[in-house]
Amino acid sequence: MDSARKKKSREATETLRLFSWNAKRGNFEEGNPLEIENLYTISSLAWKADGSTVYAGTLCGGIFAIDCCVKRKMLRSRFETTYVSPSHVLIRDVTTEQRTSLLSRKGLPIDEIKMMGEDRFVVGYTASTLIVAELDQGRFSEIEWTSGGNEKFYFDNANVCLIVNVGEITIVEYGTDGPVGWIRTELTSPHLISIRLAERGVRGLEPSKKIAYLLDPSTISIMDLSTGAQEHTISHGNSIDWLELNETGRKLLFRDKRQRVHLVDLAGPDLKQANLLAFCTYCQWVPTSDVIVAQSGDSLHVWYNPDHPDQVTTVSIKGDVEAVLRDADRTEVIVQESSAKVAYELDNTQIEFATALENLDFERAVSFLEKARGDVSDTYSMWRQVGEMALGQGKLLIAQRCYAAIGDMARVNLLQQTIELAAEAAERIGGDGTADSRVRANIAKLCKRYKEAENIYLEQNNVEDAVKMYQTLHKWDDALELAKATNYTGYEQLKATYYRSLADTGQDGKAAELKVAEGNRAAAVQLYLKANQPAQALRLVLHDEDLLGDEQLAQSVAVSLLKNRQFDKAGSLFEKLHDFTRALESYKNGKAYSQAIQLARVQYPQRVVELEEEWGDALVKEGKHEAAISHYVEASQNVKAVEAAIRAKEFNRAVQIVDAIQDQTVARRFYEDIATYYAESGDYDRAERYFIEADAHQAAIQMYLRAGKWAEGYRLSAEFLGKEDTTRLYLQKAEDMENNGMLAEAEQLFLAIGDARRAIEMYRAAGRSDDVVRLTEKYDEDRVMDVHKELGASLEADGELRAAEEAYLKAGDYDAAITMYKTRGQFSDAHRLAVASGSQKNVERIGYEWAKSTGGGAAVTLLNKLGFLNQAIAIACESGDFDFAFDLARSGAKDKLPDVHRLYGAHHEDEGNFDEASRHYIDGGAPGEAVKMWIEDKDWHRAEEIATAHAPELLNLVYDEQAREAMEAGDFQRMESFLLRANKPLSILDFYTNRQMWPEAMRIAKEYAPGQIDSLQKNLDDAELRGGARGVDSFLVQGREWEANGEYLRAAAAYLKVNPQSTENTALIRQCAIKAADITIKFLLGPDRNQQLIEVLLASLEAADASEKAAEVHIALGEHREAIMALCRARQWGKAKAIAQELMPAMAAEVDAAYKESLKSEGNVGELIDVDVIAAIDLLIERGQWEKALDTAMKQKHKPLLEKYVAIYTGMLVNNGDIEKAVEIFLKYGICTNEEVFNTYIKIFDEIIQCPASSPLEEFHRLSLVRNLMLAVVQGLGDTETSSLIEFSRSLWAAHFMAFHVALGTAEFSPETQNLRLRQQLALLRYSDLIPADRLFYHAGIAARELDEYKNVGFVLLNHFLDLVEAIDEDNPAMVDSSIFEGTDIPLEIPLPREQSIGREEVEAVKDWVLAMSVDENAEKVLPEDRRQTFESSIVDRAGNVSRMCVISGYPVLDQRVELGNGLDANKEDLNRVIKLLCFRKVNDIFGGACY
């Protein structure tokens, strides 16, 4: 009962149960339980964030993960889909490890997943919804959807997806469930739909979501997606081929089929449309702004302020615009020119200005305009625009500033008054004062909202100011209307003033309008005539019968109309007056033929035809040929009608009219013109017909030839010129075209005459393979495959691999295509083709070679992905590529490692490399193969060794084979040994019996076959009796028998008889002595022991080198000292010491001393180290093994010990001249802080610094060594400020700058590099007491004289160099004058070098140059000073203040300091130079060493 309960409890704790949610049933369902042995208790449980894995921790500290995905599969061999649940899928891009989650928030199973949009988007289908996700940001949306399989997806917009289905477009915003909106349109091209979803907001306005699309080819609809309401509809006269909203959705650009670009402002209630550009081939909004870029021909047009379309900037370009790119610093238009892509930079400041206006950021806009360069006229419109917008927003001060900038003082003054009024009102009523009526009225006037200003005045019952406002603006009509409407008391005076003003200014027309308004039409007519406006007077007369009846007045109007050449209006007046003759003449003079013909039809019918012809002639003169056609037809002037129709390009009407012409000569002339038009228009059939009608056959043939319609030309030519002549003509022309490179035309001619073979040969000779294939497929199908293969080979040779692949596949030659990609290392394509070929062998072989080219873990990943890792391992083994096979097996298929080892072992065995073969057989679990191999090779030792260790069951086989070999060689002892090992004593017995070797047989029988003793014993005894004593063998037999019989004394004596006098077998002697010792120890050491036997025994043991056994005898006898000494002679030091410590402690030291002397005499360093480290190290040093000695000292972790030997070794190396080795030893084992070693460091520094190098690389190597050494010394000395630390720190910096200077010399020459190297050389002068001074001053002076601005410095330094040279020659330091360097960090007193560092030729050259500079009036002996009034390279100024030093140049860090850490600084300019240098060319180890 208890056991059952425990079992049940154990099952419960070792089982993990998983439950899955069933959406249909609405509950969890239990899956198969997961049983894990020895799981015990789970103490923690957690899901992975994506739900694909559950992790459990056990009470015993174990952690395991359980994959809970429903299923996995691959999409397009790139995307791994993991179904965490039916409604949740994780998508992983295996190439980039990018992960995206696809989740149905409605819990519906995802039935299908599709990758779309260049694999950047995912579409998932459920039973009633659609899930759309974009991979870059991981956003997804779910919408209700019932798929019919016909929907199309457009992913051109970064924020939305368009789903087109049956003329309806559903708009889905990524990250938002449900559609944003729907539209219906048949025009679904991405270029005809523009969506903006709150991409850039405007201050004070809600972000908008808008879409612009086409209702039909010429009508644009603007919809607000937030409300679903249609905001605007824009109709256009032509079809539209592109449109785009700006990012705020407040402006629209579109282009029509005539390549005209239009801009529509959608912000206001009334749409403002502007025609921006004609013949536009590219148009685009600049990203994150409202700037427009467009191309027309070779000009780039930029509108920085779209609110003013007339303000456009034009830039000449050479090419086509490809894109507009913008970042934080610049905006560029990328233009593809003939040879390269060129970037044209736009004015980013103006772009920012336009954006500021759009965002109503007036302060930013004004700041831009104030910083703008050039005349105010250049920014006039911008100032005005900002002022108007600021005024509209109530920003009075900003508006005043803008109008002041453009000199509009009237507005400035009015704004000043308004600002003062606002300030006064603010004090009175609070706020900013803009609520005051006077302020509001002034702002309305400034904004030209006069009606609003009028209403404000009227609200305050201030009619007089309102009237005065209109008077000031000369808006008299508004003033009079307001005065009349408000019963203004000064109305009459106002009106009288207005009349006087009109009369004084000659505005009779305006006065006439006032008379009309008063009803005095006669006076108005007189005023109109006075104002020379007879048309207005005619209007009054024609609508007033009384005025029309006044003949004198009517005649005055008519005369005025004729004088102003308004003949049509005069004609209408004469017609009203029934003067039809003058009316008809007036109509003719005014070319109002419509009214003239209408009048003539009633009054003069005979003149209608004449008028129609005149009307036609007039229209032709005006270029209106199309309109003239009908009038010529009405006048029966067919020839003129045809000519007008031809000029108007109305050739269909011209044909109709020509058909009616009876004169065929005239008709043929028109037919040829009509035919020429149709030929130019490409309507060759109609052109041919009319050319034939015009009897112009040759023109028709030439038409076809010019158009390249050789077959039609051939047909027509054969019909009219004859087939034979036509063929000869075509063949000759085709050959001429071929020779002139007009191959396409020549092809048409060859085909026209039916000679396709000639066309194919022509293309083959020209290397036009595509055309060869095309014609071959059409005219020579039997050779298509061969042609494809030839084409593939040619394309492959030219490097056009994709085209070559297509050609090979068309030829059915998969192998050639696969080989092509494989030889070029393009294994993905080779594998793709191998899979397509259907050959599994090809697939595996290509996969193997692909993986081999990849190598490492990537190869295993690839083969696992391809699914044939094991096959690849087999292929590698077959190919003999075992290294790769091992890599694959170790990384991905460890179970295959034994097989690879076995195969590799067989390979080595075939190659005769038995050692390697044996190792791999064993590693592969086949030691038997190794044993058999060694048996065949008769290497018995190796065979037995391997069998013993790895295959004991094969030992007998080894022994059998060895015994056979020994028997054949007559070595019976070896044979016996091996057969006994093989447990085959009967075989030995049979062998000896057959050869009558009775003693051996008896021996074997006694030991291993007692049942055979009886038959052999009698013969053996007889043989021993007949043969007498058998020597050693007899002693052995006797000893055994006496021992068996308990006669131990005799037995021991018998064994001791086996000695050098009785046998030379030392092993047998030793064996017998040990046997005698064992018997003696056990049985013969009692009180009555035989002392003589014991002495003989001990002597025999010592003689037989069995001192250890002798020690046992001594111990048994109580002779402890003799026992210890015996163990020492046997080199059993451990036992000797143990016995000494236990029984004779005083001898322990004596044993240790003997042990050490033994190890020293044997040279056994390994054991000596454990006993006496110092002795071991000294022994290694005696042998010359210094590095082993130092390694041993280092392992002791005792720094003084290591420093001692490092100091000794490095001192020896330095004395021997091996400086670099000494530095390496210091750097490897650490520096010594003992002051006795400091001289070694100084000597190393001096030797390396002064030793010339054969190359810059060698010099840098040596300098970097001493630099690293000095760094280690400085770090070892710590932070304590001592003279030694200061000295070594200066040596460190000197070595650093010298190494840095040499490294920079390996870079490509540039002015920056030259300047930086000079600065380093000038800084190095402060170390002239450490480095040969003549060398420093020479190189610094030479570098300085190369730069014009430092030529005087070069003069000073080279002059000082000459002083040094002279002092060195004379060995007199007093000859050097260093006074010019006072107040700097350059040492004034330095040790003179023993000899000159610079050659005599260089010295003479310097002397000549210094002499030349000395006579130069511009030469000065001065050093350049910085703002400290100190030499610019000196870190110490004249007052003794020390500045921080730049680690790059050595110059003082004064400004633009850059902290590098560890207390190091750099000048920003010098650091930037080095960074720039490293970006273009790496300089070896510039920053080597731990210091950096």
Q: What is the mean predicted confidence (pLDDT) over 305-315?
A: 84
Question: Is the confidence at residue 7, as pLDDT, over 50?
Answer: no
Cβ proximity of 126 and 87 under 8 Å: yes
1428, 1433, 1436, 1442 alpha-carbon torsion, rounded to 10°: 90
How crowded is residue 1002: how many other Cβ atoms within 10 Å of its Cβ?
24
Q: What does the alpha-carbon distance between residue 1268 and residue 1225 come to, in Å, rounded to a whole number? A: 12
pLDDT band at 1486 (very low <50, low <70, confident <90, very high): very low
φ/ψ of residue 1155, rounded to 5: -65, -45
Q: How far is CA 803 from CA 474, 793, 860, 1002, 1222, in A?
A: 79, 10, 31, 91, 64
| Angle (nearest 5°) at CA 1240 between 1239 and 1246 | 85
- Please tell me the predicted confidence (pLDDT) of residue 10: 46
Q: What is the mean predicted confidence (pLDDT) over 1435-1450?
A: 88
| Amino acid, single-letter form, for residue 1107 | S
Q: How far is CA 504 from CA 382, 491, 511, 665, 957, in A?
A: 39, 20, 11, 72, 145
Q: Considering Cα of 1144, then 1148, then 1153, then 1157, what sign does the dihedral take?
A: positive
Token pair 């206001």 is found at 268
Q: What does the alpha-carbon distance between residue 385 and residue 391 come to, in Å, rounded to a whole number? A: 10
DSSP assignment, residue 93? E
φ/ψ of residue 224, rounded to 5: -90, 110
pLDDT band at 253 (very low <50, low <70, confident <90, very high): very high
Q: What does the alpha-carbon distance between residue 400 and residue 408 come to, in Å, rounded to a whole number? A: 9
User: Residue 590: CB partners within 8 Å, gap ≥ 6?
Assistant: 565, 566, 567, 568, 569, 570, 571
| Amino acid, single-letter form, for residue 1196 | Q
Q: What is the largest CA-CA distance in the chain?
A: 194
**pLDDT one-digit tens code per residue, 964-1016:** 776 767 676 777 776 676 667 777 766 766 665 756 776 777 677 776 665 66
- Per the DSSP assignment, residues forming a β-bridge with 1467 are 1457
- Please tell me the predicted confidence (pLDDT) of residue 1489: 37
- Please tell me the predicted confidence (pLDDT) of residue 1128: 67
| Token pair in block for residue 1393 | 């070098």
**pLDDT one-digit tens code per residue, 1303-1350:** 888 777 778 888 888 888 888 888 888 888 888 888 888 888 888 888
> Coil, strand or helix: which one is 959?
helix
Question: Is the confidence at residue 1485, as pLDDT, over 50?
Answer: no
% of the chain residues with pLDDT over 90: 2
Q: What does the alpha-carbon distance between residue 339 and residue 1486 come to, in Å, rounded to a whole number? A: 39
> Coil, strand or helix: which one is 88?
strand
| Amino acid, single-letter form, for residue 1347 | L
Mean residue pLDDT of the chain comes to 74
Cβ proximity of 1039 and 1075 under 8 Å: yes
Q: How far is CA 749 from CA 387, 683, 764, in A?
A: 72, 21, 17
Output 596-601 pairs: Cβ under 8 A, ≥24 positions apart: 596/571, 599/575
Q: What is the mean predicted confidence (pLDDT) over 388-393?
A: 76
Q: What does the alpha-carbon distance between residue 674 and residue 668 come to, in Å, rounded to a whole number? A: 10
Q: Considering Cα of 1336, then 1342, then 1345, then 1351, what sign does the dihedral take?
A: positive
Cβ proximity of 211 and 223 under 8 Å: yes
Q: What is the mean predicted confidence (pLDDT) over 762-789?
A: 65
**pLDDT one-digit tens code per residue, 887-906:** 666 666 667 677 777 777 77
> Coil, strand or helix: which one is 384?
helix
The shares of helix, strand and coil residues in the chain, as percent rounded to the nearest 5, are: 60, 15, 30
Question: Is the confidence at residue 154, as pLDDT, over 60?
Answer: yes
- Please tell me the predicted confidence (pLDDT) of residue 818: 72
pLDDT band at 1446 (very low <50, low <70, confident <90, very high): very high
Helix locations, 590-696, DSSP H: 593-603, 608-621, 625-634, 638-647, 651-659, 664-681, 684-693
| Amino acid, single-letter form, for residue 273 | Q
Q: How far is CA 1372 from CA 355, 1331, 1364, 1369, 1379, in A?
A: 77, 18, 9, 8, 17
Cβ proximity of 324 and 333 under 8 Å: yes
**pLDDT one-digit tens code per residue, 1268-1308:** 888 887 887 776 667 777 787 888 888 888 888 888 887 77
pLDDT band at 1175 (very low <50, low <70, confident <90, very high): low
- Please tell me the predicted confidence (pLDDT) of residue 858: 66
Helix locations, 81-169, DSSP H: none
Question: Is the confidence at residue 1217, as pLDDT, over 50?
Answer: yes
- Please tell me the predicted confidence (pLDDT) of residue 285: 87
Token pair 């860090």 is found at 1453
Cβ proximity of 124 and 89 under 8 Å: yes
Token pair 């048409």 is found at 748
**pLDDT one-digit tens code per residue, 522-537:** 766 766 666 667 776 7
φ/ψ of residue 1107, rounded to 5: -65, -35
* Of residues 1296, 1238, 1240, 1245, the one with CA closest to residue 1267: 1296
**pLDDT one-digit tens code per residue, 1470-1480:** 888 888 777 75
CA atoms within 13 A on the CB side of 578: 2
- Please tell me the predicted confidence (pLDDT) of residue 1: 38
Q: Which helix (H) or strand (E) covers residue 132, if one does?
A: strand 129-134
- Please tell me the predicted confidence (pLDDT) of residue 723: 57
Range among 398-412, 418-432, 1076-1090 rated most confident: 398-412
| Amino acid, single-letter form, for residue 1171 | V
User: Residue 1216: CB partners within 8 Å, gap ≥ 6?
Assistant: none
Please, what is the end-to-end C-alpha distance for the chain in angstroms? 75
- Please tell me the predicted confidence (pLDDT) of residue 6: 42
Token pair 């112009």 is found at 696
Tell which wins on pLDDT, 1427 or 570. Answer: 1427
**pLDDT one-digit tens code per residue, 1452-1469:** 988 888 888 888 888 888
% of the chain residues with pLDDT over 70: 66
Q: What does the alpha-carbon distance between residue 1005 and residue 1148 come to, in Å, rounded to a whole number? A: 51
Question: Is the confidence at residue 549, as pLDDT, over 80?
Answer: no
Helix 437-446 crosses helix 450-459 at what angle (to 10 degrees)? 160
**pLDDT one-digit tens code per residue, 1356-1399:** 888 888 888 888 888 888 778 888 888 888 888 888 888 888 88
Question: Is the confidence at residue 697, as pLDDT, over 80?
Answer: no
